[in-house]
Structure formats: structure tokens, C-alpha cells
Amino acid sequence: MAYLPNGADERRQMLEAIGAASVEELFATVPERLRHPQLTLPEPLAEQDLVTELERLAGRTHPLGSLDSFLGAGVYRRYVPAIVRAAIARPEFYTAYTPYQAEASQGTLQTIFEFQSMICELTGMDVANASLYDGATAAAEGVMMAVAQTGRRRVVAAADLHPETLAVIRTYGRGRGVEVATTDDVSTSIGAGDACAVVALPGFLGTVEELAPVAQAARAVGAISICSADPIACALVAPPGDLGFDITVGDGQPLGVPPSFGGPHVGFMAVRQELMRRMPGRLVGLTHDRHGRRAYALTLQAREQHIRRERATSNICTNHALTALAATVYMARMGGAGMRRVAEISVQRAHALAGRLSALDGFELAEPARPYLWEFALLVPGDADDFARAMRRQGIVAGLPLGRFDPDRREQLLVCCTETSTPASLDRYVEAASRFAGPVEVNR
């Protein structure tokens, strides 16, 4: 049998030791009418057949690497140094459990401590936790912290928050009677009854706003300021900590984690010192062993569900340690400077592509007045879905048609460049798009 080490002889010996006549006897406490339901399950597969079946399914997708992809919108195809995969493929890391027994888990504990430390450096915050599920749930947890801290139940969120993040904040809020309002101008909308302001760096459309006034306005009314930030953006622009934010959350996927159809990624959260004990999730602290040597342990567990039960800061138990390890190795290999360089390359290429596309007749930037990093909303001739489909026939994933999220943006496409968008693929994009250029009515 697939992964079962004991043969018939061992099983017989074990039953004898137990004093049972059969395995069936061990299930005697289960009412008989519940036992052995008729299940319709496929035949067991040999490993080779299993590989064939999974390769068949994998063969029925078109990976980004086989296309010229300009899709981003929260999930990015960034170059992942090989050492990242080599690290997370080690059984010492991927088969380990949550490091409850510190003495036998120093490897995992130290890498988490390093993750916490590097996230602090990147975001400019005081304290970071060991990770959360993803960027969207991290934002929702941040909002719940703000609700608990302020005793208020209204949230003011920027309208250009990622739609997935906004949706998850709403779902989390609904259970607790938390109301979520969206606005284009958070700093003038936030008031004394509000728990928090939530903004994004960059916004869903890739644009960067002046965010320091949001943090100031929130502070002035006793609300918590939350910034949902792209970690690579934090390597280039002034990070949320420097802008005065109380909580920074985000998705660590751009730090060495493959897109993987949306998960697993890794959420992160970093806060000001005063909010440390309100944080959800695991925290690793530096301490010492009996011989005075540096050692690490899970700490401040009195916040957590296994100690505090219904009074815990969150119900989170498992975090995303292995993807956090990928991010740790990525950050350590790239360094702050390497990540900034990756951001710069992405900015240069995106702006070059945007310039060439908006020079084509019928194409223009949808938000020409707003500065953007490596993503931009592009107005195309006609319906963006039609355009994207036509481009796809040329092997190009031209971007994300925005009509899916906003009916007013049916003619817009969110286009993304990273360091994996080669100059040759930029040329092919422009070449293919130029066939749609010209007066719109001709192409319809």
C-alpha cells in the first residue's frame, strides 16, 4: 500500500499485543450502521500512474512561462533565485511542525526571527509577526486589531484597495458588525467614530498616492492607520513606517513565492511597538538556553488561541512558515539593494512599455496624472476583454481586463511589467497591439 510500512506479519503481532482479534474490533466504539459506507472512489494509483495523471492535468494549463505575460494585479511573476527552492525543498524545513519544542526546532525558529527582522527593516516598522495566510487576511486581521484597540466599528478604506482584500475585510467585518466604507480620499473622510483607515501602496491600479497625510489624519482622530503594501515597492519608495503608519500588512508572494494559481502565498504584518500585544499569530523571540547561548522560542503566547481560547487576539494557529522561509531566503539573497534594483527594472520597463503603447493611435493611459510603479491602467480601442482575447491568440497575456471589477473600466486593461518581462516580449506586445491601433471604428 502506498505509504504504509507495516506488513501482515507486523499487523498480526500488533493485534496480539493489543489483545484484539481483528482491526475491525478496534472500531467497535463506532456504531455499526456508520461503519464502511459504500464509497465511490477511483482505483488506487501506482506512483508512475499518479505522475501521468497529474502531468495530464498540469498539461491542460498554459503556464505564464510559456507565454508573454503582463498579468500582475496582486500576484507577480518575479525571478526566484534557485537557492530559494533549494531551501524550501529540504525535508528539515518542509516536514517540520510548528516549533513548540524550542530545543528541537531552532532552525525554524531562527529563520522566523530573521523573517520578522527583515520585514521590519523593509516596512520601517518596529515589530513583525511570524506570518499570516495572505495579504487579504492580513489586512482583515489588521482591521480587527484596530476595532479591538479603538472600540469603534467603522472602517474607512481606500477605493483602490485590491478588490480581493476589500472583499475579505468585508467578510471578516460582517461577523463582528463592522461597517466598511470606501472613498477616493481617505484623509478627509476619516472621522472620530472610525476605527481605522486602510490604504494601499501601490493601489490596485499600480499608482502611488501621497500617504503620509492619511496616517496623520487617522492619528488626529484616534484611529489606527493601516497600509497594505507590496514588499518590493517598500524596497524602492519610502515605506509605511517612515510615513507614520501604525500597521503595515501585505502579501509576501513577490518575495520568492511562485504564483501557484493564487496560493499558498504568505501574509505579513508589522506594527508599532505599542500594538505588539494585539498582534495575531505566532511571534518568535530571542532568549537564551541554560548555558547562556542564544536561543529562540515562540513567545507572548498568552495572546493565542491555544492558551486564551475565545479571548485570543485571533483564531489563527497555523501560519505560513514555509512560504515565509522562501521570503526569508529571497530577502537575504537579494538584500535591500537587490530588491530595490528589481523594483527599478520593473518601473523602467513598465514606463517604457506604457510610453510606446500610448503612442499608438487609440491607446492611452487611463490615469495619466497619477504616478505609477510597474502597473498601469491602459485604455485600449474597444472592449478590453476582446483586445485581451485577440492578444492571447498571439501568445500574449496582455493584462487584466478591468471590467470584471468595475463596469466603468470595460475599455481598460491593467498591464504589469517585472524583471521577468523581457525587452523582446515588450517589443512583441507593442508589435501585436499596433495592429489594433487607429481610429476605433475601423477596428470594431
Partner 1 sequence: MSEVAEPGMEMSRVPAPEWAGEEPLVFELGGDLERGPREVRTGVADRPLAELLPGVALRATPAPIPAVPEPVLARHLGRLARRNHNLHQGIYPLGSCTMKYNPAVDEELARLAGFADIHPYQDAGDVQGALELMWELERLLCEITGMTRISLQPAAGAHGEWTGLRMIQAYHAARGDTQRTRVLIPDSAHGTNPASAALAGLEVVTIRSNPDGTVDVADVARHLDRRAAAIMMTNPNTLGVFEKDILEIAGMAHEAGALLYYDGANLNALVGLARPGDMGFDVVHLNLHKTFSTPHGGGGPGSGPVGVAEALTPFLPTPTVARDGDRFRLDHDHPQSIGKVRSYYGNFGMLVRAYAYIRAYGSSISAVAENAVLNARYLQSRLGGTFPMAVTSDSMHEFVATTKGGRVVGLRALDVAKRLLDYGVYAPTAYFPTTVPEALMFEPTETESKRSLDLLAEVCAAIVAEAERDLDHVRGAPYLTPVSRVDEVEAARRPVLRWRRAE
Site for partner 1 in 40-99 (CB under 8 A): 40-45, 47, 50-51, 53-66, 69, 71, 73-75, 77, 79, 81, 83, 85-87, 89-99
Is 381 within 8 Å of 362 (Cβ atoms)?
yes
Among 240, 258, 365, 429, binds partner 1 (CB under 8 A): 258
Among 159, 185, 272, 352, binds partner 1 (CB under 8 A): 352
Residue type, 80: V
Q: Indicate the DSSP class of residue 415.
A: E
Return the H-helix or E-strand segment holding 142: helix 135-150
User: How far apart are CB 442 and partner 1 at their closest, in Å?
Assistant: 26
Q: What is the distance between the alpha carbons of residues 5 and 23, in angstroms, rounded to a whole number? A: 16
User: How far apart are CB 182 and partner 1 at their closest, in Å?
Assistant: 15
User: How far apart are CB 193 and partner 1 at their closest, in Å?
Assistant: 20
Q: Is the dihedral of CA 399, 330, 266, 225 positive or negative?
A: negative
Q: Which is nearer to partner 1, 221 or 300 (CB)?
A: 300
Q: Which is nearer to partner 1, 267 or 381 (CB)?
A: 267
Per-residue binder mask for partner 1 (CB under 8 A), 404-443, x = binder = ---------------x--xx--x-----------------
137 lies in the site for partner 1, by CB under 8 A: yes
Q: Which is nearer to partner 1, 414 or 437 (CB)?
A: 414
Q: Indicate the DSSP class of residue 159.
A: T
Helices 163-175/135-150 angle, 10° precision: 40
Q: What is the distance between the alpha carbons of residues 434 and 340, in angstroms, rounded to a whole number? A: 32
Which of positions 185-204 make contact with partner 1 (CB under 8 A)? none
Return the H-helix or E-strand segment holding 326: helix 321-358
Among 227, 237, 378, 437, binds partner 1 (CB under 8 A): 237
- SS3 at position 329: helix
Which of positions 308-347 make contact with partner 1 (CB under 8 A)? 308-312, 314-323, 325, 328-329, 331-342, 344-345, 347
Is 97 within 8 Å of 343 (Cβ atoms)?
no
User: How far apart are CB 380 and partner 1 at their closest, in Å?
Assistant: 16
Q: Which is nearer to partner 1, 102 or 221 (CB)?
A: 102
Q: Indicate the DSSP class of residue 356.
A: H
# residues contacting partner 1 (CB under 8 A) = 209
Is 296 within 8 Å of 287 (Cβ atoms)?
yes
Q: Which is nearer to partner 1, 180 or 196 (CB)?
A: 180
Among 78, 136, 146, 155, binds partner 1 (CB under 8 A): 136
Cell numbers linked to 30 = 463506532
User: How far apart are CB 439 and partner 1 at their closest, in Å?
Assistant: 28
Residue type, 169: I
User: How far apart are CB 381 and partner 1 at their closest, in Å?
Assistant: 20
Q: How many residues does the chain have?
A: 444
- SS3 at position 47: helix
Q: What is the distance between the alpha carbons of residues 199 and 197, in angstroms, rounded to a whole number? A: 7
User: How far apart are CB 31 and partner 1 at their closest, in Å?
Assistant: 6
Q: Which is nearer to partner 1, 42 or 192 (CB)?
A: 42
Which of positions 150-189 make contact with partner 1 (CB under 8 A)? 162, 164-165, 167-168, 170-172, 174-177
Is 105 within 8 Å of 92 (Cβ atoms)?
no
Q: What is the distance between the alpha carbons of residues 48 and 281, in angstroms, rounded to a whole number? A: 40
Provide the 10 A C-beta neighbour count for residue 311: 9
Q: What is the distance between the alpha carbons of residues 235 and 121, in angstroms, rounded to a whole number? A: 9
User: How far apart are CB 366 and partner 1 at their closest, in Å?
Assistant: 17
What is the rounded end-to-end Cα distance, in angstroms, of the chain?
60
Among 193, 274, 294, 442, binds partner 1 (CB under 8 A): 294
Q: Which is nearer to partner 1, 121 or 383 (CB)?
A: 121
Per-residue binder mask for partner 1 (CB under 8 A), 106-135, x = binder = xxx-xxxxx-xxx-xxx---xxx-xx-xxx
Among 8, 21, 210, 393, binds partner 1 (CB under 8 A): 210
